Amino acid sequence: MLTAGRARKYFGHSDPDSIIGRTIYYQDSLMVTVTGIVADWPGNSDYQFSQWISYATIPASFLKEDITLDRWDKLNRSSQVIIKLEKDVKPSQIDTQFIPFAKRHYGPKPGFTAQLKPLSGSHFHPTMGVRAERPVYRSCTR
pLDDT digits (tens, 9 = 90+) for 44-80: 766 778 998 888 898 889 888 877 777 655 655 555 6
Residues 75 and 139 in one domain: yes
**One-character DSSP codes across 11-77:** HTT--HHHHTT-EEEETTTEEEE---EEPPPPSS-S----B---GGGTTTSGGGGTS-SS-TTS--G
Residues 98 and 113 in one domain: yes
Mean pLDDT of 96-107: 80
Residues 31 and 44 in one domain: yes
Residues 79 and 129 in one domain: yes
Residues 20 and 44 in one domain: yes
Residues 59 and 76 in one domain: no
**Domains in the chain, number:** 2
pTM given for the model? 0.58
Residues 53 and 98 in one domain: no
- pLDDT, residue 55, reads 83
Residues 59 and 75 in one domain: no
Residues 5 and 28 in one domain: yes
Kindly indicate the confidence band of residue 140, based on its pLDDT and cuts at 50, 70 and 90. Answer: very low
Kindly indicate the confidence band of residue 120, based on its pLDDT and cuts at 50, 70 and 90. Answer: low
Q: Are 7 and 19 in contact (CB under 8 A)?
A: yes
pLDDT digits (tens, 9 = 90+) for 5-49: 999 999 999 999 999 999 999 988 899 999 999 999 887 766 778
- pLDDT, residue 49, reads 83
From CA 114, how far away is CA 124, in angstroms rounded? Answer: 17
Residues 17 and 42 in one domain: yes
For residue 2, the enclosing domain spans: 1-64
